[in-house]
Amino acid sequence: MTAPFGQRLAGAVTARGPLCVGIDPHRELLLAWGAGDDLDGLRRFTDGVVEALAGSVSVLKPQMAFYERFGARGVAVLEEAVGHMRSAGALVLLDAKRGDIGSTMAAYADYLHDDHPMQVDAMTVSPYLGPDSLQPAVDTARAHGGGLFVLARTSNPDAGTLQHARVGDRSVAQAVVDTVGGWNAETPAAGSFGVVVGATLRELDVDLAGLGGPVLAPGLGVQGGSPADLRRLFAEGTVVVPTVSRDVLTAGPDPAALRAAAERWAGALAA
């Protein structure tokens, strides 16, 4: 990858808008598509989403768990699809939420490596083994132009149980944001490191002013978040990557219907 993720993301958002569509082939959705909850259905679903959206959406976010449940052959379906996504111009954000220490974290981060057979543009990671646990992923991202989105203030209802806990004079969520902001401060022109902050929050209880990177905002659509919530929560100038999954995916399998659903969301976000 020739430019840092932050620069590529900015270019994609300028050209295509900020919408990120999650690719979540869970059992109910595969059956709703008439695809079957099996490897062939997984392939038909994935290929259909890629064909419909990879040429127009800025970011596609495959959820790794839904591929891993089919074993190595399921991951192989995703590996092939990632290449098609990137060839069509979409950035690929692997939603894997990896978190570990040392060589294990470094191995997870190899998805960002130029030589990896399923190289992606960015991935989600979990910080709850401590900020230093993510350093191997930070190093790999910097070396290969990749990006990270770190779980900070997530959209699930009981997230505050841990994320509101105090670390000195700040919350755990704020400590995560500040850590990621420190990574971006070392390479301020790139802004390749972001945080995950849910679009369903009643109020923004973390300070993003020093982040210097993007915010992945899940929770739009079925979970209750709206474009108005994005405008309410995030200050003007914040690079927000809003994520929609089921509200687009349930329009399939017809490619035109999938594109139309994505375009409706893109239009709502631009209004």
How far is 104 from 195, CA to CA, in rounded Å? 21
CA 122/CA 140 separation, integer angstroms: 11
For each of the chain's 271 residues, which pLDDT tens digit applies?
Answer: 679 999 999 999 999 999 999 999 999 999 999 999 999 999 999 999 999 999 999 999 999 999 999 999 999 999 999 999 999 999 999 999 999 999 999 999 999 999 999 999 999 999 999 989 999 999 999 999 999 999 999 988 898 899 999 999 999 999 999 999 999 999 877 899 999 999 999 999 999 999 999 999 999 998 899 999 999 999 999 999 999 999 999 999 999 999 999 999 999 999 8
Question: What's the whole-number average pLDDT of the chain?
Answer: 96
Half-sphere exposure of 145 (CA within 13 A, CB side): 15
pLDDT confidence of residue 174: 98
Q: For residue 159, what pLDDT is reported?
A: 87
**Number of folded domains in the chain?**
1
Domain that holds residue 51: 5-270
Cα angle, residue 104 at apex, residues 76 and 92 outer, rounded to 5°: 40
3-state secondary structure of 245: coil
Q: Which pLDDT score is estimated for 1?
A: 63
Segment 169-205, tens digit of pLDDT:
999 999 999 999 999 999 877 899 999 999 999 999 9
CATH of the domain at 212: 3.20.20.70
Q: What are phi and psi of 21, to 5 degrees?
A: -110, 125
- pTM (two decimals): 0.97
- What Å distances lie between residue 8 and 16, 29, 191, CA to CA? 12, 31, 10
All residues at 6 or more sequence positions from 163 whose CB lies less than 8 Å from its CB, including other chains: 152, 153, 154, 171, 172, 173
Q: Which amino acid, 100?
A: D
Rounded to whole angstroms, how far apart are CA atoms 231 and 173?
Answer: 21
At 211 the pLDDT is 97
The predicted pLDDT at position 155 comes to 87
Supply the residues annotated as catalytic. 97
* Helix, strand counts (H, E) of the chain: 12, 10
Q: What are phi and psi of 221, to 5 degrees?
A: 90, -120
